[in-house]
Amino acid sequence: MLDVTELSRAYGQGPAAHLAIADVTFSVERGELLTIVGPSGCGKSTLLRCIGGLLAPTSGGVVLNGAPVTRVPDRLAVVLQDYSRSLYPWLSVADNVALPLRRTVKGRTARRAAAVAALETVGLADAARRHPWQLSGGMQQRVAIARALACDPVLLLMDEPFGSVDAQTREDLEDLVLAVRAERGITILLVTHDIDESVYVGDRVVVLTGGPGRIRAILRVSLPAPRDQIATRELPEFVHLRAEVSRLVRSGSQAQAQLAGD
């Protein structure tokens, strides 16, 4: 469904240009949950933005459902890390969720209904009339997810969405993402720096190395579904995978550091 081919992106020009990602190639199946993990500064966010059409790649391309991505495609939704700032404080929660629907859904009641439905999916139906700043961080992120879901996307991009919430909330949100995917069959790309998360949530894990970001490995996660925060994480399979990813990430950064040291 999604094909990324030799994607490269450089910032700046000439000799001072900084290559953020280089020759990234992978594919994503429909309904798959792909996690992208790597050390900080390895270009994960750049990669996600290029896939989402928010950034133009310097070379290479992205093809979504057969059509090349030149700008933000239809039926694509994004959840950023900075949820508290991505929600508009002058709108209520329901209005925030309904705003993206103005393009596609005509009629205020229809939009409202869709917004409330999306909020129900994330368990925040009774927060509809409140304002984002009245909610906790975890709830705000849920609203951002609801907003993404309300557009009925085929592809959901999440850029370190749970980076700024506490551990408890993060577990709940991870399970929420899994539930949403199971229910709706959306394809999800989730960028994270949390290795545990990448293994727990993902069907496959893409490990990026640092500067410039290249694919180090793509691992298939063979853990059973449905996943459980406690049970799954106890499985030897999980521990093994997690260690493997960790090793890859580390060796990647070490190689990087060595290169930089020259």
Partner 1 sequence: MSERKRAPRRLPSRRGGDSRRGSKPAERSEALARRKTQRAAAAAPPLGGGGRRGPKPAARQRGLGAKDTWRGGKHSWLSRWVVLACGVALWQLWAGHRHSAFFPPPSTIWSAMHQKWFNGPAGHLFLNSNATGNILPSLGRIGLGLAIVVAIGVPLGIAIGRSRVLMDYLDPLLQFFRSIPVVTAAPVFIALFKIGTQMEVATIVAGTIWPLLLNTIDGARSVDPVQVETARAFRYTAWVRLRWLIFPSTLPSIFTGLRLALSLSLILMVFSELVGSSNGIGYEMDQANSAFNLPDLWSALVLLGILGYLMNAILYLAERYVLAWHRASHG
CB 141, min distance to partner 1, A? 13
Q: Measured from the CB atom, is 131 or 233 closer to partner 1?
A: 131
H or E element that contains 106: none
- Classify residue 209 by its DSSP letter: P
- Residues binding partner 1 (CB under 8 A): 11, 18, 20, 40-41, 43-46, 49, 52, 54-55, 72, 76-78, 80-82, 85-86, 88-91, 99-100, 102-103, 131-134, 147, 151, 160
Whether the upstream peptide bond of residue 226 has omega within 30° of 0, thus cis, is: yes
CB 103, min distance to partner 1, A? 6
Q: Measured from the CB atom, is 11 or 70 closer to partner 1?
A: 11
Q: Measured from the CB atom, is 99 or 218 closer to partner 1?
A: 99
Distances (CA, A) of 64 to 42, 196, 205, 235: 24, 28, 20, 35
Q: Measured from the CB atom, is 98 or 241 closer to partner 1?
A: 98
CB 190, min distance to partner 1, A? 14
CB 109, min distance to partner 1, A? 18
CB 106, min distance to partner 1, A? 13
Q: Is 162 helix (H, G, I), strand (E, B) or coil?
A: coil
For the chain, what is the largest distance between any 2 Cα atoms, rounded to a whole number of angstroms? 63
Q: Measured from the CB atom, is 151 or 215 closer to partner 1?
A: 151
